[in-house]
């Protein structure tokens, strides 16, 4: 699994015709599940959090 910029990820998705899902995260368990599934699927994902969740 690699960490890359959102800008690069979205440019690559647009150029190659695929979507990048954005996931709302609220706790460590949620982000762990998202990262595991994205890794298993060999698919990108964009975890997001709200400033109110800090």
Q: Which residues pair with 48 in a beta bridge?
A: 24
The span from the first CA to the last CA of the chain, in angstroms, equals: 25
pTM above 0.75, yes or no: no
* Ranges of the chain with pLDDT below 50: none
Q: Supply the pLDDT for residue 13.
A: 94
Q: What whole-number distance in Å separates Cα of residue 15 and Cα of residue 17?
A: 6
pLDDT of residue 37: 92
Residues 13 and 5: their CA atoms lie apart, in Å, by 12
1 Cβ neighbours under 8 A, 6+ residues apart: 35, 38, 39
pLDDT of residue 40: 94
């Amino acid at each position: 699994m690699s960490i890359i910029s959102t800008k690069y990820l979205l440019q690559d998705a647009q150029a190659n015709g695929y979507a990048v899902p954005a996931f709302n995260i609220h706790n460590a368990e949620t982000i762990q599940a998202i990262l595991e599934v994205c890794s298993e699927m060999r698919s990108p994902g964009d975890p997001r959090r709200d400033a109110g969740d800090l």
